Amino acid sequence: MTAIITATELAHDLAAEAPPVLLDVRWQLSVAKAAGAPAFDGRAEYTAGHIPGAVFVDLDRELASAPGERGRHPLPDLAEFGAAMRRAGVSAARPVVVYDGGQGWAAARAWWLLRWTGHPDVRVLDGGLPAWQGPLSADVPVTAEGDFEPAPAAAGRLDADGAAALARAGVLLDARAGQRYRGEVEPIDRVGGHIPGAVSAPTNENVGPDGRFLPAVELRDRFKALGVSGDAEVGVYCGSGVSGAHEVLALAVAGIPAALYVGSWSEWSSDPTRPVAVGADPQ
């Protein structure tokens, strides 16, 4: 099973007798929101037009819990997450396809959460809504309650200590923009820089100009150049566990398993006792 699906494949699957559950997770990072100002409203965009049959999922409220010491997008309460997924029609035996506005970060967060909590068949629409060539609908579908019960895996998730250890013993990739990794700018969090030992690997370099993932062979070559050889465990972090999920998805496309540090830099940097490295050198 692949981690992504093309728009053509999705159109075919939606026309089948047993179509996948379709989730719309339009969201985008907002510096204004981090400062307490109003932000992008994905629900309004969903209401204006979505792929027919799609159910809106709110990243901030259903794919994360309230921001705090554990970061800006900490793990959601799993009971509440499961209830939200069941309301959206998610069942263990039915495939799920997730899409967003094209950046891919929010869809990847939903993909990662569902996969980590045990759903066996979840894919992301490659290129998001802009890749969809079919009609859009303003109708909100009436969905039957699903039966999905989250069962988190023992592997696939890192905490702060685990991320620090992996930076020393394996490969820890930093999915943020290079300027934030180097500590040249930090528009959101307390301090700029990176976890000592982490390697800069901006996730936007995993996609082409159209927002679609590079071919798997090109992704494998990219990650190999960053030190991902297959001989060591791989982990990813970002600002708050959203764009990092996109890099975990890119690694999955390349056939490389990786864990996500969900708290990411927003959690790490909130504790002044944790070390911070700056500059282009991982150390």
pLDDT in tens, 102-148: 999 999 999 999 999 999 999 999 999 999 999 999 999 999 999 99
pLDDT at 39: 54
* Residue 277 predicted with pLDDT over 50: yes
Mean pLDDT, the chain, as a whole number? 94
> What percentage of the chain carries pLDDT values higher than 70?
96
- Listed by start position, the domains of the chain span 4-131, 157-268
Average pLDDT, integer, range 79-85? 98
* Residue 37 predicted with pLDDT over 50: no
DSSP 204-233: GGGB-TTSPBPPHHHHHHHHHHTT--SSS-
DSSP, collapsed to helix, strand or coil, labels residue 137 as: strand
Alpha-carbon gap, residue 264 to 48, rounded angstroms: 33
pLDDT at 215: 98
CATH architecture of residue range(s) 4-131:
3-Layer(aba) Sandwich (3.40)
Residue 230 binned pLDDT confidence (cut-offs 50, 70, 90):
confident
* Residue 35 predicted with pLDDT over 80: no
Long-range contacts of range 182-188, CB-CB < 8 Å, 24 or more positions apart?
182/278, 182/279, 182/280, 183/276, 183/278, 183/279, 187/31, 187/34, 188/31, 188/34, 188/72, 188/239, 188/266
pLDDT at 38: 47
Residue 30 binned pLDDT confidence (cut-offs 50, 70, 90):
low
Residue 220 binned pLDDT confidence (cut-offs 50, 70, 90):
very high
Q: Please, what is the Cα angle at 25 between 23 and 28, to 5 degrees?
A: 170
Q: Please, what is the Cα angle at 246 between 191 and 187, to 5 degrees?
A: 25
Average pLDDT, integer, range 85-111? 97
pTM: 0.95
Average pLDDT, integer, range 17-39? 74
* Residue 275 predicted with pLDDT over 50: yes
Are the C-beta atoms of 140 and 78 separated by less than 8 Å? no
Token code pair at residue 222: 């990219």
Average pLDDT, integer, range 25-39? 62
The CATH number of 157-268 is: 3.40.250.10
Are the C-beta atoms of 3 and 29 separated by less than 8 Å? no
Domain 4-131 identical in fold to domain 157-268? yes
pLDDT at 247: 98
Catalytic positions, written as ranges: 238
